[in-house]
Amino acid sequence: MGSYIVRRVLQMILVVFIISMVAFFVIQLPPGDFVTSYVSSIAAGDRITQDAILALRQQFGLDEPLLMQYFRWITNVLQGNFGLSFQLQRTVGDLLAERLPLTLAITIPTTIFVYAVAIPIGIYSAVKQYSVGDYLFTFVGFIGLAIPNFLLGIVLIYLSTRYFGGNVGGLFSPEFENAPWSVARVLDMSRNMALAIIIIGTSGTAATMRVMRGMLLDELSQAYVETARAKGLSEWRLIMKYPVRVAVSPVLSTVGFTLPAMISGTEITATVLNLPTTGPLLLNAVKSQDMFLAASIILILSVLTVIGTFISDLLLVWADPRIRL
């Protein structure tokens, strides 16, 4: 186990380094750069001299070759400095420190909601195959898969505004928007967060439920289940001890994508719901070619993806004795 962990850590370092290079250079692929976007947004018909544009590129360090820009950025990152956001004129570290806690406050409960709801429903649907409950959960699951989260958010915002005189967008009520942290502000955030958790977690719950049901149905037809049943093992103890433990493996394998999803915060849905998470921050950074901000967020997502994949591999070994390192 020790040699496996050391080997995987070395592989993870190499993978993260390669991903950081790819992410940094891919951001530069669209024509122009941040200065091009910035000049086009402020020009408004006025002519800006070429000397002014060159001065802006020198100010932002965009006059250097891309390879030099990358090595300067990655060297600063290793020292804890993620650079400056060109668009917002704030350090990337400050922006992440401001957005990450709120992102985690939404995504951690959402992740718990997805697994806590999907796994029991998937087990029930498989055990009670073709029952009324199975048909009902299957129908709801298909609806959850078919409707995009952002569309569900738009519909709920409309219904809330049109019929209930409220708004499900944002994390805080107007009176708590800029208020200092207090018990009342936390409670207000919790109330506003409930619908956001349901909206963001709908598709994940539906998908996980279908995977759990399908895998468990396959395991329930195996010979070892009939053997255990013939030996007199109680039905639910048999199901939870053997087939569920094997069937949950594909669900555990998704942990590798859960950690980065916690930080990305479902970009489009978060934008629609006006949530102050890192998702809209990344979306705006990519649109404006704010390379240090976009590359830093992508680097964090990459690190979390690699770590999550490693954790899911260890969980799979623990859950399924047939898997070996």
Rg (CA), the chain: 24
The stretch 249-273 carries a mean pLDDT of 71
Question: How many other CB atoms sit within 10 Å of the CB of residue 79?
Answer: 8
Lowest mean pLDDT among 31-40, 72-81, 106-115, 177-186: 31-40
Report how far residue 272's alpha carbon sits from residue 282's, in angstroms, rounded to the nearest whole number: 14
pLDDT at 45: 46
Residues paired with residue 234 on neighbouring β-strands, in sequence order: none
Shared domain check, 263 and 176:
yes
Shared domain check, 57 and 137:
no
Closest Cα to residue 202, out of 142, 267, 259? 142
Domain end point (choices 38, 56, 91): 91
pLDDT in tens, 81-102: 888 887 788 888 888 888 888 8
The most confident of 13-22, 52-61, 84-93, 303-312, by mean pLDDT:
13-22
Instruction: Give the pairing type, strands 84-85 and 90-91.
Output: antiparallel
The stretch 283-310 carries a mean pLDDT of 82
Shared domain check, 117 and 72:
no
The pTM assigned to this predicted structure is 0.75
Report how far residue 122's alpha carbon sits from residue 243's, in angstroms, rounded to the nearest whole number: 13
pLDDT of 136 above 90: yes
> For residue 274, what are its two tokens?
């006006």
Shared domain check, 148 and 27:
no
pLDDT at 166: 59
Shared domain check, 198 and 52:
no
Domain end point (choices 91, 116, 136): 91
The most confident of 28-32, 46-50, 282-286, by mean pLDDT:
282-286
Which pLDDT band holds residue 126 (cuts at 50, 70, 90)? very high
Shared domain check, 207 and 106:
yes
Domain end point (choices 48, 69, 91): 91
Domain of 169, in residue numbers: 101-319
pLDDT of 169 above 70: no
pLDDT at 139: 92
Do the domain assignments include residue 204?
yes
pLDDT in tens, 211-228: 999 999 998 888 888 888
Domain count within the chain: 2
Report how far residue 101's alpha carbon sits from residue 275's, in angstroms, rounded to the nearest whole number: 12
How far does the chain reach from its first CA to its final CA, in angstroms? Answer: 8
The stretch 69-83 carries a mean pLDDT of 85
Shared domain check, 288 and 181:
yes
> For residue 280, what are its two tokens?
């809209």
Shared domain check, 229 and 151:
yes
Question: How many other CB atoms sit within 10 Å of the CB of residue 306?
Answer: 22
Shared domain check, 305 and 239:
yes
Report how far residue 36's alpha carbon sits from residue 26's, in angstroms, rounded to the nearest whole number: 17
Shared domain check, 315 and 175:
yes
Do the domain assignments include residue 174?
yes
pLDDT in tens, 290-302: 888 888 888 888 8
